[in-house]
Amino acid sequence: MTLEVLIRAAAPIPLDIAFGVAPGEILALVGHSGSGKTTVLRTIAGLWRPETARVTAGGAVWLDTAAGVALPAWRRRAGMVFQTYALFPHMTALQNLMAAMDRPDRAEALRLLGLVNLDGLAGRRPAELSGGQQQRVALARALARRPAVLLLDEPFSAVDRATRERLHAEILALRGRLDMPVILVTHDMNEAQLLADRMLVIEKGAALRLGTTAEVMADPVALRAMGIREAAAMLSAVVAGFDDDGLARLETAAGPIFLAGVDTPPGSRLRIRIPAHEVILARARPAGLSAQNILPCRVAALHPGEGPGVLVRLRLGSEEILSRITRRAAADLALAPGDEVHAVLKAMSVARDQIAAAGA
């Protein structure tokens, strides 16, 4: 059930976008507010009809302006999670789910509520649930529709940070069971990088860059649109243990690293987002530093930006991280692809919300 989308429009904002999403894949649509990313989602759901568009899910044509086909939203199998939750306030959590089912199935609705960790809250109305709980109900309701496509419209932007981290972890835990294409609209690059397989950067209604999260996050053009400070790499790690001072010892492809802010038990697999501007480079292995992590690595490529910065891609074993340094520093070190360098990373440089459990 692959989703194929093509949209061209002049109003309300100019749009020129085409992409496909495979079953089980999470595609993040990222861009600033007003870039058109939500309009793309609404077009797929059938809540908006651009001048020229074609949307197919599996073999089914949902929208084809050229052929005059336009299924109304309620005839499309699109599960949608709204930014404002949009739960029916007069129904309980359970009733909200059953309202989205073609044949209301109480047992199935309860199972879905369990899947999003809402056991025991089926009888509560939305007003009696916290923001995070409401968002879980909204997700379960979207799944109750048995959607051919799951659409998430900035689903975590209205909850506090701690709740957002928990919801991220739950989405990642659910990943294996989501066998439909998933589209996540977000302006949070950290969220996109943690959750998505691929990213589509949209700027002023145009597709700026479509690729895997690693590709997009190392692409100067995409980063210019999103803000260069968003440049970051994802590093896989396994929690090896905790030292007496509370720092976590993690095994990575680059050897052991130490980080603060890790609270998952030893043995858990993590994906850590390492911001490029937090990584310092040194030719020789530095001594007498406060930084706890000195990782030997090799320069893979240098991407000079338009400003004073250079984005350096570094290979550590089978993985890559990014470092953003000045052109001047790159010249002083005479960096060139293939050079052996040391990447320096403070244990404090990774925030708690930049660490996510890796899918099994």
Partner 1 sequence: MDWTALFLSLRLAFWTVVILLPVAILGGRLLAFRQFRAKGLVEAAVMLPLVLPPTVFGFYMLVALGRNSPIGAFWQQAFGHQLVFTFEGLLVASVIFNLPFAIQPAQRGFEAIPTALREAAATCGMSPLRSLRKVELPLAWPGLLTAMVLTFAHTLGEFGIVLMVGGSIPGETRTIAIAIYDRVQALDMQGAAVMSATLVAISLGTIAVTFALSARLGRRLA
Should residue 46 be labelled a site residue for partner 1 when binding is judged by CB under 8 A? yes
Site for partner 1 in 276-315 (CB under 8 A): none
- Pick the closer one to partner 1 by CB: 81 or 355: 81
Task: Give residue for tokens 């496909």.
Answer: 20
Residue 141 touching partner 1 (CB under 8 A): yes
Q: Looking at 14-22, 80-88, 206-214, 325-333, which segment touches partner 1 (CB under 8 A)?
A: 80-88
Q: Which residue has the tokens 């020229």?
A: 52
* Contact flag: residue 73 with partner 1 (CB under 8 A): yes
Q: How far is the CB of 55 from partner 1 (least distance, A)?
A: 14
11 vs 160: CA distance, rounded Å: 34
CA distance 40 to 22: 17
> What is the rounded radius of gyration, in angstroms, for the C-alpha atoms of the chain?
22
Binding mask 85-104 for partner 1 (x = CB under 8 A): -xxxxx--------xx-x--
Q: Which two tokens stand for residue 68?
A: 């005059």
Judged by DSSP in three states, 216 sits in: helix
- The answer to whether the CB of 147 falls within 8 A of the CB of 136 is no
Q: Which of 252, 254, 228 is nearest to 239 (CA)?
A: 252
Tokens standing for residue 162: 């701690």
139 touches partner 1 (CB under 8 A): no
Q: DSSP string spanning 21-58?
A: E-TT-EEEEE--TTSSHHHHHHHHHTS---SEEEEEET
Report CA-CA distances (Å) from 275 to 61, 75, 229: 41, 43, 8
Nearer to partner 1, 9 or 45 (CB): 45
Indicate which single residue of 11, 59, 66, 74 sits in contact with partner 1 (rule: CB under 8 A).
Answer: 74
Regarding 127 and contact with partner 1 (CB under 8 A), the answer is: yes
Under rule CB under 8 A, residue 80 binds partner 1: yes
Least distance in angstroms from the C-beta of 149 to partner 1 = 10
Closest contact distance (angstroms) between CB of 158 and partner 1 is: 12
Cβ proximity to partner 1, 46 vs 132, nearer residue: 46
- If one asks whether residue 158 binds partner 1 (CB under 8 A), the answer comes out as no
- The C-alpha atoms of residue 297 and residue 39 are separated, in whole angstroms, by 42
Based on the number of CB atoms within 10 Å of its own CB, is 107 exposed (0-12), middle (13-18) or buried (19 or more)? exposed
Q: What is the DSSP letter of 286?
A: P
Our finding on whether 68 is near partner 1 (CB under 8 A) is: no
**Binding of residue 45 to partner 1 (CB under 8 A):** yes
Q: Is 136 in the site for partner 1 (CB under 8 A)?
A: no
Q: Which of 8, 18, 32, 47 binds partner 1 (CB under 8 A)?
A: 47
Cβ-based nearer residue to partner 1, 72 or 265: 72
Rounded to an integer, what distance in angstroms lies between the CA atom of residue 213 and that of residue 189?
Answer: 10
Nearer to partner 1, 142 or 325 (CB): 142
Residues that bind partner 1 (CB under 8 A): 45-47, 72-80, 82, 84, 86-90, 99-100, 102, 125, 127, 141-142, 145, 151
